[in-house]
């Protein structure tokens, strides 16, 4: 699907579909996109961006995809099903009751909504597929025809049914079918009872596809572009990893390296791709995803585009994202290190933590402190704790971690063994000192300059220059090793650029949709130019678009933003603009950059929020997208009292808050507010005339 306004500027809004508040509904659904498009038109906008709508199972995060192609049933509108009119009064009553109860919540109760919908959909399927159903033949005939065109739905349905049969366990813990072939799918479907359940999942997907495609067609017919979002990675416990596992590398987990915002890095827990295998298939996996997306969207956001150039790979035994390496990356062989004058003993000193006796004693003191905080629980066996964690080097007052420590995740297990969550009468050990104990162990685990890889080669660790081993080297040794690290880094960067260009060319060139890139994070030299060459606009977030190589990291003026970029005030992983304004010290600098002459306000009240949004509309970027929360902040009645309640996700956390944001006003109320519409529509007008057309 081609981008409608390819020769114009685009101004729009972004939100998760789940967040739409519709009267008498617990969450947004596919048909509601038409109302959202009507609102966009009222606001003179021509672009709507939504977060991924892939099936993510019982995980609310839309970036934890259970399937690369299947849609999430939570967005299926049961009331808009073709079969709705023939449903029994009892079933219609169940739907009305479910909607009435779950629509009252401030945030989306994801698990409750999904569970209730699947229960009702299952009952609907029983009614329409029963021998006495009026249109049974027509439904089953349509389903058979659709499945033949969408063969992916058979293994998807088998995966879900097996997962249900095995009590929700991940596929690698199933008692059978942990390894699956095409013949196994045929065997499973030869069981009539099992096949009927797979037909249920196929029917749900058929209706979801039809609803979504119909809604997207109506949105585009209104002159509104719809931008989708394609997660780069797949959940390890996904149908793709189960059924198409030859394209995945399960020995490592994907994440992000340490940076100022995340000193420990990030561990996403997703397997890596085996790009060499994917390339040999003609990029089939990715082409299938793009072909499906092209049915719905006229443009799409490529999630974590840097991962197509190089991905941060972590050993599966690591808890956090600190000790990793880029894949691909040029490593250093033992022979190369020998040539620099480093003996095997020196290499071991650089690549393995060496813990002094004083540090071991300090760690044992933390163990004791955690016990003392509880008062009544048994004293942990410090001697056994010491022997299980540490191995003394000869007779020196120096230790290495024992062989049973394979990664930082092992510290959680060991500390839990010695300091169980609770003892008699529910008394707990001291949590504060327990966390200090684990932090100390992790700190020493990271204390190495080189990381040894499974192939016996080495790579520099983050902050390799600030480790015990590095500080002990002579100036000559440091210079030699630093030169090797930098030389390999330069070659690796060329490799990454070639890698990214090859993969992105194959993927983005396959369909006519307009690609955009989430390119946040440290950009290796050449990445912006590669994206520009491929006509992939990058992301420019107002608070993070700065000259970081200048003192004080000043904000980039709006007229200096690249024309071929997507500008936004905040993103789903950040605080809203209003919360950032309240909590961050740089608002005055931003206020000055936006060229306001009066003093910067401490609070971003509705009038100030609109002023900032309107000033930002002067940006030179071709695409301007406002998170819906940053627009609702422009009205006292539509903003939450506490700006934290408007946040979508807090990276590094996993609870019922994340990914369950729900807009405060209903769409119906917003559509009737002509005064608010006139204020918001000024943003698109300013953006359309602020610079020459691109």
Q: 330 in helix, strand or coil?
A: coil
CA distances (Å), 246 to each of 29, 90, 274, 534, in order? 35, 47, 8, 29
Contact 154, 198 (CB under 8 A): yes
Residue 279 has pLDDT above 50, yes or no: yes
Distance CA 74, CA 208 (A): 9
Distance CA 153, CA 208 (A): 12
Q: 496 in helix, strand or coil?
A: helix
| pLDDT tens, residue by residue, 353-396 | 999 999 999 999 888 877 665 555 667 788 999 999 999 999 99
Q: pLDDT-derived band of residue 596, with 50, 70 and 90 as boundaries?
A: very high
* Predicted local distance difference test score (pLDDT) of residue 680: 98
CA 34 to chain centre: 26
As a whole number, mean pLDDT of residues 436-448 equals 94
CA 264 to chain centre: 17
Q: Report pTM.
A: 0.93
As a whole number, mean pLDDT of residues 288-309 equals 96
Q: pLDDT-derived band of residue 130, with 50, 70 and 90 as boundaries?
A: confident
Q: Hey, what are 532's tokens?
A: 């520009």
As a whole number, mean pLDDT of residues 67-73 equals 98
CA distances (Å), 620 to each of 274, 293, 556, in order? 38, 28, 11
* Predicted local distance difference test score (pLDDT) of residue 692: 45
Contact 247, 66 (CB under 8 A): no
Distance CA 108, CA 103 (A): 8
As a whole number, mean pLDDT of residues 137-141 equals 86
Q: 12 in helix, strand or coil?
A: strand
% of the chain residues with pLDDT over 70: 96
Spans of all domains in the chain: 10-243, 353-447, 560-690
Tokens 């390296």 sit on residue: 257
Rounded to the nearest 10 degrees, how much is the dihedral formed by the CA atoms of 279, 282, 288, 291? 120
Q: What are phi and psi of 635, to 5 degrees?
A: -140, 135
Task: Detail the DSSP E strand segments found in 241-293.
Answer: 248-256, 266-273
* Predicted local distance difference test score (pLDDT) of residue 375: 55
Tokens 């992790």 sit on residue: 442
As a whole number, mean pLDDT of residues 79-104 equals 93
Rounded CA Rg of the chain: 28
CA distances (Å), 414 to each of 161, 402, 437, in order? 36, 12, 11
Contact 56, 62 (CB under 8 A): yes
Residue 693 has pLDDT above 60, yes or no: no
Q: pLDDT-derived band of residue 400, with 50, 70 and 90 as boundaries?
A: very high
As a whole number, mean pLDDT of residues 493-510 equals 96
282: burial class by Cβ within 10 Å (0-12, 13-18, 19+)? Answer: exposed
CA distances (Å), 606 to each of 336, 448, 634, 636, in order? 61, 50, 4, 6
As a whole number, mean pLDDT of residues 438-451 equals 96
* Predicted local distance difference test score (pLDDT) of residue 260: 79
Distance CA 406, CA 409 (A): 8
Contact 71, 202 (CB under 8 A): no
DSSP 629-644: HHHHTTSTTTS-SSGG
The three-state DSSP-derived secondary structure of 501-541 is: HHHHHHHHCCCCCEEEECCCCCCCCCHHHHHHHCCCCEEEE
CB atoms within 10 A of CB 256: 23
| pLDDT tens, residue by residue, 649-660 | 998 777 889 999
Q: What number of residues does the chain have?
A: 694
Q: pLDDT-derived band of residue 521, with 50, 70 and 90 as boundaries?
A: confident
Contact 323, 445 (CB under 8 A): yes
Q: Hey, what are 79's tokens?
A: 């009331």
Distance CA 223, CA 217 (A): 10
Selection from 45, 65, 64 nearest residue 4 by Cα? 45
Q: Hey, what are 352's tokens?
A: 């393995």
Check residue 659 and give left, alpha or beta (phi > 0: left; psi -120 to 50: alpha): left
Contact 461, 270 (CB under 8 A): no
Q: 50 in helix, strand or coil?
A: strand
| pLDDT tens, residue by residue, 30-61 | 999 999 999 999 999 999 999 999 999 999 99
Contact 25, 99 (CB under 8 A): yes
Distance CA 351, CA 447 (A): 9
* Predicted local distance difference test score (pLDDT) of residue 449: 98
The DSSP H or E segment spanning 458 is strand 458-460
Rounded to the nearest 10 degrees, how much is the dihedral formed by the CA atoms of 372, 373, 375, 377? -80
Distance CA 39, CA 625 (A): 15
Residue 694 has pLDDT above 50, yes or no: no
* Predicted local distance difference test score (pLDDT) of residue 416: 81
User: If one looks up domain 10-243 in CATH, what number appears?
Assistant: 3.20.20.80
Q: Give, in degrees to the nearest 5, the angle at Cα 326 between 338 and 340.
A: 15
549: burial class by Cβ within 10 Å (0-12, 13-18, 19+)? Answer: exposed
CB atoms within 10 A of CB 523: 15
Residue 429 has pLDDT above 80, yes or no: no
Bridge partners (DSSP) of residue 324 are: 314
* Predicted local distance difference test score (pLDDT) of residue 133: 77
CB atoms within 10 A of CB 576: 28
CA 630 to chain centre: 21
Distance CA 608, CA 361 (A): 55
Q: Hey, what are 612's tokens?
A: 């900032």
Selection from 134, 227, 463 nearest residue 323 by Cα? 463
Bridge partners (DSSP) of residue 302 are: 230, 517
> How does the average pLDDT of the chain come out, rounded?
93
Q: Hey, what are 419's tokens?
A: 């300091």
As a whole number, mean pLDDT of residues 603-625 equals 97
Tokens 């389903």 sit on residue: 143
| pLDDT tens, residue by residue, 5-15 | 888 999 999 99
């Amino acid at each position: 699907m081609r981008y409608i306004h390819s020769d114009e500027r685009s101004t729009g809004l972004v939100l998760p579909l789940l967040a739409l508040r519709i009267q008498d509904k617990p969450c947004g659904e596919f048909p509601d996109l038409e109302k959202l498009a009507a609102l966009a038109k009222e606001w003179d906008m021509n672009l709507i961006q939504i977060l991924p709508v892939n099936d993510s199972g019982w995980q609310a995060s839309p970036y934890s995809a259970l399937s690369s192609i299947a849609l999430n049933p939570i967005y299926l509108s049961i009331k808009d099903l073709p079969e709705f009119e023939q449903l029994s009064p009892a079933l219609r009553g169940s739907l009305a009751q479910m909607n009435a109860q779950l629509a009252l919540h401030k945030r989306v109760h994801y698990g409750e909504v999904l569970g209730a919908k699947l229960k009702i959909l299952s009952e609907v399927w029983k009614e329409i597929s029963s021998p006495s159903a009026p249109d049974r033949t027509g439904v089953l005939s349509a389903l058979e025809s659709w499945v033949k065109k969408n063969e992916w739905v058979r293994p998807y349905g088998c995966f879900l049914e097996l997962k249900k049969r095995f009590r929700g366990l991940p596929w690698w813990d199933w008692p059978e079918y942990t390894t699956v072939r095409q013949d196994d799918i045929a065997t499973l479907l030869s069981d009539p009872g099992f096949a009927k359940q797979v037909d249920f999942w196929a029917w749900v997907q058929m209706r979801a596809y039809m609803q979504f495609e119909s809604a997207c067609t109506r949105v585009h017919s209104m002159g509104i572009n719809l931008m989708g979002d394609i997660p780069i990675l797949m959940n390890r416990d996904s149908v793709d990893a189960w059924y198409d596992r030859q394209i995945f590398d399960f020995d490592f987990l994907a994440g992000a390296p340490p940076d100022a915002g995340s000193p420990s890095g990030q561990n996403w827990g997703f397997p890596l791709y085996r790009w060499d295998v994917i390339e040999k298939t003609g990029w089939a996996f990715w082409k299938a995803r793009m072909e499906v997306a092209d049915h719905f969207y006229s443009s799409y956001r490529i999630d974590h585009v840097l991962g197509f150039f190089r991905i941060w790979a972590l050993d599966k035994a690591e808890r956090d994202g600190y000790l990793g390496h880029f894949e691909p990356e040029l490593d250093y062989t033992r022979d190369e290190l020998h040539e620099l004058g480093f003996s095997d003993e020196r290499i071991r000193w650089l690549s393995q933590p060496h813990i002094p006796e004083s540090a071991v004693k300090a760690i044992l003191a933390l163990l004791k402190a955690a016990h003392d905080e509880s008062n009544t629980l048994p004293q942990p066996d410090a001697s056994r704790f010491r022997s299980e964690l540490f191995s003394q080097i000869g007779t020196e007052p120096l230790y290495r971690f024992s062989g049973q420590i394979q990664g930082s995740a092992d510290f959680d297990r060991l500390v839990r063994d010695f300091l169980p969550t609770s003892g008699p009468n529910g008394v707990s050990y001291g949590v504060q000192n327990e966390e200090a104990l684990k932090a100390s162990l992790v700190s020493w685990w990271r204390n190495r300059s080189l990381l040894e890889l499974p192939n016996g080669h080495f790579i520099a660790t983050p902050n390799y220059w600030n480790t015990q081993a590095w500080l002990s080297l002579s100036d000559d040794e440091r210079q030699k090793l630093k030169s090797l690290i930098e030389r390999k880094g330069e070659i690796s960067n060329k490799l990454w650029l070639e890698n990214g260009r090859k993969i992105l060319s194959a993927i983005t060139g396959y369909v006519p949709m307009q690609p955009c890139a989430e390119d946040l994070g440290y950009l290796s030299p050449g990445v912006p130019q590669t994206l520009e060459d491929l006509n992939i606009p990058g992301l420019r977030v107002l608070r993070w678009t700065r000259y970081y190589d200048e003192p004080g990291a000043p904000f980039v003026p709006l007229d200096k933003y690249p024309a071929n970029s997507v500008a936004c005030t905040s993103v789903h992983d950040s605080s809203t603009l209003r919360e950032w304004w309240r909590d961050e010290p740089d608002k005055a600098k931003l206020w000055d950059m936006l060229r306001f002459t009066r003093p910067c306000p401490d609070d971003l009240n509705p009038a100030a929020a609109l002023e900032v949004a309107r000033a930002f509309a002067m940006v030179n970027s071709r695409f301007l997208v406002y998170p819906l929360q940053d627009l609702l902040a422009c009205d006292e009645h539509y903003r939450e009292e506490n700006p934290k309640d408007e946040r979508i996700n807090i990276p590094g956390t996993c609870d019922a808050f994340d990914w369950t944001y729900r807009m405060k006003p209903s769409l119906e109320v917003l559509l009737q507010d002509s005064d608010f519409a006139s204020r918001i529509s000024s943003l698109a007008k300013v953006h359309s005339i602020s610079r020459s057309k691109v």
